[in-house]
Amino acid sequence: MATWRVVKSLLRLRDQLDAQCPGRSKASDGTVGDAAHQADPTSDHNLHVYPQLGPTPVVCAFDATHDPGRGADMGVVSERIRLSRDPRVAYVIFNRRIFSATNTPWTWRPYSGASAHTEHMHVSTVHTGLADDTRDWQIGATMALDEQALADLEWREDAFAAMSEDIRGGRYKGNPDPTLGKHLGVVALKKIAEDAHAAATRPLVEPAPVDIPALVAALRPLLEAAAEAGAAAALARVRFVLDAPPV
């Protein structure tokens, strides 16, 4: 009778990595915690009993070695997991960054823990029955990835969030004219939405989830507000071409 086990979803992730990168290093692979991990009772590397996962103590964390030379690039894998928004994920740490499903969901944030996690990716699962879901992880058939496309999409997500409040107040690029500032911001957001749609519909190795209806819904009130504020007059006074991210 087993005294402990690793949740099944993480065993599936490990098996997929082994199949895709059969020669990958496993020097920093890990599941059950060592003495250092055991000093932190909240660590998912330690054994816990969760009602939805049965009476046997489980480990809800897996460390996968970063070995890009043999195809196991955890920068790629962690980003694909982030974009997939897999409901089994609690949080992922890699290379001084962390994202989670609950804290500013699915957004990379700086990580300053004792380990920088440069030598491996850490994946923690939720503590529910989903942790034993053995469906394939959306990490692609190979480690090849259109990195520029992903970077572009991530910039658009961040830019949209950062610009929305400024545009509502007519402060885009610090322009003191509320009407003109709002108009320039609306033009920029239109461009972001159009580019995001183009990126989402062209054939990527792993299509990135872009919620076009949500973008359109967010843009509509801004466009209407700009029109009411005299955007047409503003347009007649200025030429504006968005050819670079705002600075």
Residues 115 and 215 in one domain: no
The torsion angles phi and psi of 15, rounded to 5 degrees, stand at -65, -40
Count of domains forming the chain: 2
pLDDT at 28 over 70: yes
Which 8-state DSSP code applies to residue 239?
A: -
Side-chain half-sphere exposure of 12, counting CA atoms within 13 A: 15
Residue 145: CA count within 13 A, CB half-sphere: 25
Residue 198: which domain range? 147-237
| CA atoms lying within 13 Å on the CB side of residue 96 | 0
Give pLDDT, residue 179.
52
Under 8 Å between Cβ of 120 and 73 = no
User: Does residue 34 register a pLDDT over 80?
Assistant: no
pLDDT reported for residue 163: 54
173 and 188 Cβ atoms separated by less than 8 Å: no
The residue with tokens 């402990």 is 4
Residue 26, pLDDT above cutoff 50: yes
Domain boundary, last residue among 97, 132, 167: 132
- 176-196: b or e for each residue (b if 16 or more CB lie within 10 Å)? eeebbbbbbbbbbbebbbebb
State how far the Cα of 212 lies from the Cα of 197, in Å rounded to an integer: 7
Judged against a pLDDT cut of 50, whether residue 247 lies above it is answered with no
Judgement on whether residues 217 and 175 belong to the same structural domain of the protein = yes
pTM of the model: 0.58
Task: Write the pLDDT tens digit of every residue in 179-235.
Answer: 555 555 566 666 666 666 555 555 444 445 566 677 667 777 776 766 666 555 544
Residue 55 makes CB contacts below 8 A (sequence gap 6+) with 49
**Segment 2-12 mean pLDDT:** 93
Residue 209 counted as domain residue: yes
Burial of 119 (0-12, 13-18, 19+ CB in 10 A): middle
Question: How far is it, in rounded angstroms, from Cα 184 to Cα 239?
Answer: 9
pLDDT, tens digit (0-9, with 9 covering 90-100), for 71-91: 899 999 999 999 999 999 999
- Whether 246 maps to a domain, the answer reads no
pLDDT value of residue 40: 72
What mean pLDDT comes out for the span 54-63?
A: 96
Same domain? For 9 and 128 the reply is yes
pLDDT, tens digit (0-9, with 9 covering 90-100), for 140-180: 765 444 455 555 555 555 555 555 555 555 544 455 455 55
pLDDT band per the 50, 70, 90 thresholds, residue 15: very high
> 112 with 155, same domain?
no
Question: Helix (H, G, I), strand (E, B), or coil: what is residue 41?
Answer: coil
150 secondary structure, DSSP code? H
3-state class (DSSP) for residue 93 = strand
- 113-127 pLDDT, tens per residue? 888 999 999 999 999
The whole-number average pLDDT for the span 3-20 is 96
Same domain, 227 and 156: yes
pLDDT mean across residues, the chain:
76
Q: Give me the mean pLDDT over the 24-35 stretch.
A: 87
Q: Compute the half-sphere exposure of residue 150: CA atoms within 13 Å on the CB side of its CA.
A: 18
pLDDT of residue 219: 72
- pLDDT, tens digit, 9 for 90 and up, residues 128-139: 999 999 999 999
pLDDT at 41: 74
SS3 content of the chain, % helix, strand, coil (to 5): 45, 15, 45
Residue 139 domain-assigned? no
Q: Domain check: are 105 and 182 in the same one?
A: no
Rounded Cα distance between 221 and 232, Å, is: 16
